[in-house]
Amino acid sequence: MKFFSFWRSLASFRVRIALNLKNLSTEIVFIDLDTNAHRTDDYRRVNPQMALPALTLDDGTVLFQSLAILEYLEEKYPEPPMLPVDALGRARVRALALMVACEGHPLLVPRVRRYLDNELNLRDAQQAAWRRHWTVETLAALEGHLARDKATGRFCHGDQPTMADVCIVGHVTVALAQDISLAPWPTVKRIFETAMALPAFAAAHPLAQPDTPEAMRTKN
Ligand SMILES: N[C@@H](CCC(=O)N[C@@H](CS)C(=O)NCC(=O)O)C(=O)O
């Protein structure tokens, strides 16, 4: 398998965690979003959406969209599971994952930020306010669901990490990068800290990747 990734990409972060949880190794192709490497003809041939991540299989099949990739990995490599065994549990985990991957994250991706900048002429402070607003909205919504539901355990759903944890750690990482305090969202904070203590999550962190700029790299 060949994994197209970028250190700062949250969707790539999700797939990195899943590959680590399932102990799968891949060749990694680093695509630098900051130099628009995702908009070259070469990468467009891999993923016409020009977004990361993508995962190509040995027969050349290209998988794209992080949640679809997670679902593929789950079906193909079921151990350890990232989804609960019961239908209601799976629906809840997928819903929590979707709150991040399909609601919060899309408002923060480079192509949206480029549009705010180039077409709507929003300046840095306005763009920062946009990012903060949508980041906080998602944190509040996650806390609302996680805090009230007895299905929440050490992790988002019970005591094993699931796709929901795989998704929320990226969202919290973005919040921390914006210096947003997690104090108003204690359940989210606790689950984030529990998940990031796992080697599979820690090794996938954006600041711990081979293509992370040296100045930003986590020092161990
Ligand atoms: N919903 C997609 C999001 C893909 C996406 O937007 N990825 C970002 C990086 S996290 C990207 O490559 N953006 C390029 C751009 O917006 O120009 C997924 O989960 O895979």
**What distance in angstroms lies between residue 46's CA and the mean position of ligand 1's atoms?**
14
pLDDT bucket at 114, cuts 50 / 70 / 90: very high
pLDDT confidence of residue 218: 81
Domain residue spans of the chain: 2-80, 87-202
Packed helices 124-148 and 87-98: angle between N→C axes, nearest 10 degrees: 160
Per residue in 62-94, pLDDT tens? 999 999 999 999 999 999 999 999 999 999 999
On the question of pLDDT at 51 being above 70, the answer is yes
What mean pLDDT, rounded, does the chain reach? 97
On the question of pLDDT at 203 being above 80, the answer is yes
pLDDT confidence of residue 176: 98
Token digits of residue 218: 């986590």
**What distance in angstroms lies between residue 33's CA and the mean position of ligand 1's atoms?**
10
Whole-prediction pTM:
0.97
CATH superfamily of 2-80: Glutaredoxin (3.40.30.10)
Task: Locate the ligand 1 atom nearest the alpha carbon of residue 112 and give its number.
Answer: 16
User: What's the Cα-to-Cα distance from 53 to each of 47, 114, 158, rounded to whole Å?
Assistant: 9, 19, 28
On the question of pLDDT at 219 being above 90, the answer is no
On the question of pLDDT at 220 being above 70, the answer is no
Residues with CB under 6 A from ligand 1: 9-11, 33, 38, 51-52, 65-67, 101, 109-111
| In contact, 105 and 171? CB cutoff 8 Å | yes
Assess if CATH 1.20.1250.20 describes domain 87-202: no
- Residues β-bridged to residue 55: 3, 63
H/E stretch holding 56 reads strand 54-56
- Residues β-bridged to residue 5: 30
pLDDT confidence of residue 22: 98
